[in-house]
A and B are shown apart, each in its own frame.
Chain A
Amino acid sequence: AQSVTQLDSQVPVFEEAPVELRCNYSSSVSVYLFWYVQYPNQGLQLLLKYLSGSTLVESINGFEAEFNKSQTSFHLRKPSVHISDTAEYFCAVRASGNDMRFGAGTRLTVKP
């Protein structure tokens, strides 16, 4: 079975500062990795995903994540955050034929 650990439950950061949200996974088989974002009173929206190929994946709003197989990590980064990035972020893993497993979430709070 697969599992995901998000190492930080809350990350406060000032506007325009860089941020890294950490995610580690455990699996005995190859997996697909996802980052989702949830704004208050809304469902989850996909930020980016790693399926294969280049280990660095980017989203349209400036986030990027790097798949590191040796460290079984898929950390999410953004070089400069905005107030509007305040949300809860979920890392997820899925192996072929299996259901999606989510981490506990990291609440990112961007302060002015």
Chain B
Amino acid sequence: KAGVTQTPRYLIKTRGQQVTLSCSPISGHRSVSWYQQTPGQGLQFLFEYFSETQRNKGNFPGRFSGRQFSNSRSEMNVSTLELGDSALYLCASTAVPESRDTQYFGPGTRLTVL
């Protein structure tokens, strides 16, 4: 079974631009979570989607948004980029959003904002 895939792997943007990151979960998995990883703040939860509905949302400004499609693929969007948005963005999938389930992570998208 193929793992979680994220595209693109690397991205360079400038302040003020917007960006869309994509995540394809493991086949059959219907729950997708997004995390931001930075050296200063560590791993922080962004949001979780299941069956095209946002179930949980972390403490991030409204510039960060996401969605999930009927095939379980998910996208996250960051508008009006700031330098502090430079980070590794990780996507994780589970079969269903059970707290005891193992989350399977993708390799991440490294976003650099100049």
Contact with A43, one of B4, B45, B58 (Cβ below 8 angstroms): B4
Say whether B107 contacts A102, CB under 8 Å: no
Contact with A46, one of B33, B58, B102 (Cβ below 8 angstroms): B102
Say whether A103 contacts B42, CB under 8 Å: yes
Count residues of B near A (Cβ-Cβ below 8 Å): 20
Give complex CA distance A45, B90 in Å: 12
Within 8 A of B (CB), among A18-60: 32, 34, 36, 41-46, 49, 51
A-B contact count (CB 8 A): 50
Say whether B106 contacts A90, CB under 8 Å: no
Say whether B42 contacts A99, CB under 8 Å: no
Q: Considering only CB atoms, which chain B residue lies closest to A41 in the complex?
A: B107
Give complex CA distance A100, B35 in Å: 10
A83-110 vs B, CB cutoff 8 Å, 1 = contact: the mask equals 0000000100011111111111100000
Count residues of A near B (Cβ-Cβ below 8 Å): 24
Say whether B43 contacts A45, CB under 8 Å: no
Minimum distance in angstroms from B14 CB to a CB of chain A: 24
Say whether B99 contacts A32, CB under 8 Å: yes
Say whether B106 contacts A43, CB under 8 Å: yes
Give complex CA distance A84, B38 in Å: 24
With A43-B90, A43-B107, A43-B108 known as contacts, the answer to whether A49 contacts B42 (CB < 8 A) is no
A sample of 15 inter-chain contacts (CB < 8 A) reads A32-B99, A34-B102, A42-B108, A43-B4, A43-B90, A43-B105, A43-B107, A44-B103, A44-B105, A46-B104, A49-B102, A94-B100, A100-B33, A102-B42, A103-B42
Residues on A facing B (Cβ under 8 Å): 32, 34, 36, 41-46, 49, 51, 90, 94-105
